[in-house]
Amino acid sequence: SIPDNPTRNSLEMPSQDNRLVTKTQLLDRGQWASKLEFLLAVAGTLVGLGNLWRFPYLCYKNGGGAFLVPYVLFLLACGIPMFLLETAMGQFTSQGCITCWRHFCPLFEGQCKQNSIIAEVPWASCRNTWNTESCVEFDKTNASSNWTANATTPATEFWERRVLGISQGIEEIGSLRWELALCLLLAWILCYFCVWKGVRSTGKVVYFTATFPYLMLVVLLARGLTLPGAMDGLAFYLYPDPTRLVDPQVWMDAGAQVLFSFGICQGSLTALGSYNQYNNDCFKDTFVLCLVNGGSSFVAGFAIFSVLGFMSYEQGLPISEVAASGPGLAFIAYPRAVAMMPLPQLWAICFFVMVILLGADTQFVSLECLMTSVTDMFPTVFRRAYRRELLLLCLCSVCFFLGLLLVTEGGLYFLQLFDHYVCSGNNLLLLSVCQTIAIGWIYGADRLFDNIEDMIGYRPWPIMKYCWLYITPAVCLGTFIFSLVRYKPLKFNKTYVYPTWAYALGWSLGLFCVLLVPLWIIFKVTQMKGTIWQVCTQGPPSEAIPRFRMGMKSSLLNHHKIWLKIQSEHSKVKECVI
């Protein structure tokens, strides 16, 4: 028989005693207005600054085109299967990344708790108050005569002395950079108004924030390819060096980049998927979004290295000396190249607007995912009038004040410390192992296949099941072990060595994220009755998920779709009456 209340986002929700709480008491969770909104939101949160500066750097560092071999293998063995797994979990339960685990394997609920125009661009010359005697303006006519071991470029001094006012080390936090603090405040204010109405507002904003950066990327790519020396830059970017494939570090970099850039084990895929229609084809979406994200990283490399090739041509230096990694690629190397172009103000605006939107899109969609998790944990508290807006204000305020540490004179040292230890691939590798074990072995890969078939009407490729059971955990665990064997302490700009307490802080924060999983397991075991296996496999209460989500036969699927349509019309009529 068809469940009494099968609608996923009903205007009425059952309480523990099966009495109904009407819309006047509990607000609707919301849903994407269209499939395009979901695709743009996911693409917006995945395609970020890492695609712009990290992937191109890793590609040329690890053998050029040869790096694509481990990257594609990790994408097929770990990225796509994990992407489907997390998206399907959210869509099936209509819950965020924390509460969805209550419906699959309650012991692993801790898995997601861890989760201006002027005459000259100011970085083009050394004729500014912040420049030092070491600053050198050079091109290929004076590169060999002026360049010394202590020389610095105008772009480097603008970034480090004017923008950051960077201190001598992490021990010197220094004063607050008020200009950066105001920019941070503005970012969180904009983020608040993009998210405050939930997916209804987020889904509309992503039409601009997720598409405009692609327009800017195409413009910059077209401009870069017309510059002299561009082909040399592309050859440097893609020239394959097969000998690099025997280096375990290349494979570790590929695995970490896939997991991080595809949002694996970060909660965003589950939260965004939870706003889908129940019968949305998440299997096809997985391939579309993975292709978009991977392709964006690859094309961004063309845009970056065509310009770096031009800069190498203008200065008469090898590309390896003008390229940089991390933020330096976006805020030092590329601006230096822009300053050498005709109309540098125009290209600087295009580039930095793209950078701002890439960062902002990831920021507010990630905030939406955090809001989803919190409101799903406490729906009776926060799904009421103005409660969500107050919670969002509190979260934005807390994040702003925490972010003030990063806009001090020593903030960049903390930023790279957090990025290396907290947001590293090591954490994501371990969490991926935990997640595949929980779903593939404890909940059951076949059960999840049944759930997905119930949603989309057909079963995914069998290889996905074997990835969840064997391939993904084995590859992630092996890569994690290699990363421990090849561990090297972080150095800032490859020269500055952090003090011992900074390394301890980084390791502590990184371990804390992972330790939440076993700590939550211990807590749940002490709270629940039965044997360890009974506790592990204990599912949700029967009223938590309608029976069709617990493996209803496919023969009833058409009846269920008809019932969904009837219930949808019934809800609209009821809303009008209320």
Nearest C-alpha neighbor of 397 from the set 572, 542, 547, 184: 184
Q: Is 451 annotated as a binding residue?
A: no
- The torsion of the CA quartet 253, 259, 263, 266, rounded to 10 degrees, works out to -110
- Collapsed DSSP state (helix, strand, coil) of residue 20: strand
Q: Is 450 annotated as a binding residue?
A: no
> What residue type is assigned to position 335 of the chain?
P
Q: Is 20 annotated as a binding residue?
A: no
| CA distance linking residue 227 with residue 9, whole number of Å | 53
> What residue type is assigned to position 245 of the chain?
L
Give 196's DSSP letter. T
Six token digits for residue 241: 């060096």
Buried b (16+ CB within 10 A) or exposed e, 86-98: bbbbbbbbbbbbb
Six token digits for residue 251: 């494979």
| CA distance linking residue 268 with residue 86, whole number of Å | 9
Give 378's DSSP letter. S
| CA distance linking residue 9 with residue 200, whole number of Å | 14
> 358 CB contacts (<8 Å, ≥6 apart)?
47, 48, 49, 51, 52, 213
Report yes or no: 462 and 228 within 8 Å, Cβ to Cβ: no
Distance spanning both ends of the chain, measured CA to CA: 29
| CA distance linking residue 224 with residue 221, whole number of Å | 5
| CA distance linking residue 257 with residue 243, whole number of Å | 20
Six token digits for residue 380: 């009776």
Q: Please write down the HEC assignment for all residues of 459-513.
A: CCCHHHHHHHHHHHHHHHHHHHHHHHHCCCCCEECCCEECCHHHHHHHHHHHHHH
Using CA atoms, how far residue 441 sits from 395, 446, 469, 533, in Å, is: 36, 10, 7, 12
Backbone torsion region of residue 18, taken as left when φ is above 0, otherwise alpha when ψ lies between -120 and 50, otherwise beta: left
Report yes or no: 405 and 175 within 8 Å, Cβ to Cβ: no
Backbone torsion region of residue 105, taken as left when φ is above 0, otherwise alpha when ψ lies between -120 and 50, otherwise beta: beta
Q: Is 261 annotated as a binding residue?
A: yes
Report yes or no: 548 and 133 within 8 Å, Cβ to Cβ: no
Q: Is 47 annotated as a binding residue?
A: yes
Q: Is 317 annotated as a binding residue?
A: no
Six token digits for residue 265: 């084990």
Q: Is 359 annotated as a binding residue?
A: no
> 346 CB contacts (<8 Å, ≥6 apart)?
none
Six token digits for residue 360: 């902002």
Report yes or no: 391 and 371 within 8 Å, Cβ to Cβ: yes
- The torsion of the CA quartet 335, 336, 340, 346, rounded to 10 degrees, works out to 10
Nearest C-alpha neighbor of 261 from the set 301, 230, 226, 222: 301
User: Could you tell me which residues are annotated as the binding site?
Assistant: 44, 47, 51, 261, 293, 358, 361
User: Could you tell me which residues are annotated as the binding site for Na(+)?
Assistant: 44, 47, 51, 261, 293, 358, 361
